[in-house]
Amino acid sequence: MNEQIEKLKGKLGLRIMPWPIFGLGLSILMMSLVFMTREVLHAFSIALFFAPVWLPLLLIGSAGTLWVVLKRSEFIAKQNYVLLEIKPPRNLDKTPLAMEAVLSGMHHSPGESTWYKKYIAGAVRPWWSLEIASLEGQVHFFIWTRANFRRLIEAQMYAQYPGVQIVEAPDYTRFLSAKPEEWAIWGCDFVHTEKDPLPIKTYVEYGLDKVQKEPEQVDPLANLIEFMGSMKKGEYLWLQLVIRVHKGEKYHKLNASGKTYTWKDEGKELVQAIRTETVGKVKYKDIFTGEMRETEGFPNPTKGQSEKMAAIERNVSKLGFDVGIRGIYLAQPEKFDSVIISGLTGIFKQFSSESMNGFKPSGWMTEFDDYPWEIGTSKLKDKYRRLVVDAYRRRQFFHDPFKSEKTLIMSTEEIATIFHIPSRAVSTPSLTRIQSATSEAPANLPT
């Protein structure tokens, strides 16, 4: 249904809003009551007669949903959160494989071990926000986390990136009022172009799974950092990846074994579908009857099909995270540059592949096509601008009030490709680096 609405909006520029539909339905009901009074009253009487059956079910179901939302909101509000800035040294020689190891160490999901904790106490498993922000052209790397997970994050980062500096930073999103009356704002989420088990173009395809000579090294993150570093005075570009351990909530179903359906099951189905495509029909002559018969031959995949199956199997064999990706461009009204919007929507092009997977913008400001006959969009745009900034500030993607059905599922390899601490080969001057590595004093110094 949503796809049909999107096609209708794209072709005709018609925005279907809920209130006009509700008003139309109410008008049809009133007209039916006038012209078909007996039938409508009879239908109402039947509904009223069965009210003791359907009304308690409706009320209990609604009350249960509201209870879970309330308890989860209380649990989330009670947690303390910190924003950690990651400052790389100038002489860093690590590959994205180091970040993949960090993400593997973050693959924890405490808090939802029992139904009581999940539905009565409202506990939710932790989520993290990996952020790259350009503050008037200065690019910074951040990790937002619950305060009690700070030691875990620092231990993983220091283990893989010795010499890196991790400091608690004030929330940069709060430095600006970000009100539509004062700022020009454009934001969107990102979704996959294909199904989740199909991988994007990762650092392995770029040859970054091993250390290379600097002139030969091609880090796709350099494009992203260079673009974000092009922001001028009065311009801000925020990018976040909100992640949590994948447990299959996206699919809302069970697999053939009666267990929760996950992206591994979807990956197996995709591989099986490709294998089925590779089996062709073979004709042969029956030596006894002389008739020509047809049967299925052996699988004969092309090189592309073989590579796709191998890529899917490699991707789903790694640890998976639910991921929400969001980007926002803010600027003072007189400095707002619409070209930056094109750059933001294509900011992940270097990670995309025609034969595999990629990213495309979705939601928020992409909902508006700016047809001249679209009425009332000005106030709606301002509402969306407020909401997208609020969602970014809350780092919310998996829970109310900003629960999204457009979450992605990505492996640690894919996430590490998009978010990793750049080596010294990425020499963009806008990237904030510390002058030298820092470390504690030796433990055996005389006192």
pLDDT tops 60 at residue 439:
no
Q: Which of 148, 181, 174 is nearest to 333 (CA)?
A: 181
| pLDDT tier for residue 71 given thresholds of 50, 70 and 90 | very high
Q: Which of 200, 139, 190, 187 is nearest to 416 (CA)?
A: 200
Long-range contacts for 362-368 (Cβ within 8 Å, ≥24 apart)? 362/188, 362/189, 362/190, 362/191, 362/406, 363/188, 363/189, 363/404, 363/406, 364/187, 364/188, 364/189, 364/388, 365/185, 365/186, 365/187, 365/188, 366/188, 367/15
pLDDT tops 60 at residue 437:
no
Place of tokens 């308690």: 56
Percentage of residues in the chain with pLDDT exceeding 70? 86
Omega cis (within 30) before 301? no
The tokens for 441 are 């004093």
pLDDT per position as a tens digit, 35-63? 888 888 888 899 888 888 888 888 888 88
Cα–Cα distance between 32 and 48 in angstroms, integer?
18
Q: What is the pLDDT of residue 426?
A: 76
Cα–Cα distance between 204 and 97 in angstroms, integer?
9
**441 DSSP assignment:** P
pLDDT per position as a tens digit, 314-340? 999 999 999 999 999 999 999 999 999
As a whole number, mean pLDDT of residues 159-174 equals 93
Q: What is the pLDDT of residue 441?
A: 46
Cα–Cα distance between 379 and 181 in angstroms, integer?
11
Q: What is the pLDDT of residue 278?
A: 82
Cα–Cα distance between 114 and 95 in angstroms, integer?
39
Residue pair 198/359 in contact by the 8 Å Cβ criterion: no
pLDDT tops 70 at residue 13:
no
Q: Sort strands 320-331 and 184-192 into parallel, antiparallel or unpaired.
A: antiparallel
Q: What is the pLDDT of residue 89?
A: 86
* 3-state SS class at 213: coil
Could you give all domains of the chain from N- to C-terminal order, each with its CATH number?
79-254+305-418 (3.40.462), 265-304 (no CATH)
Rg, Å, the chain Cα set? 27
**440 DSSP assignment:** P
Residue pair 115/122 in contact by the 8 Å Cβ criterion: no
The tokens for 249 are 């909530």
Show the 3-state SS of 285-309: ECCCCCCEEEEEEEECCCHHHHHHH
- In 3-state terms the chain splits into helix, strand, coil percentages (rounded to 5) of 40, 20, 40
Cα–Cα distance between 291 and 285 in angstroms, integer?
6
Q: Which of 246, 247, 228 is nearest to 237 (CA)?
A: 228
pLDDT tops 90 at residue 12:
no
Q: What is the pLDDT of residue 28?
A: 87
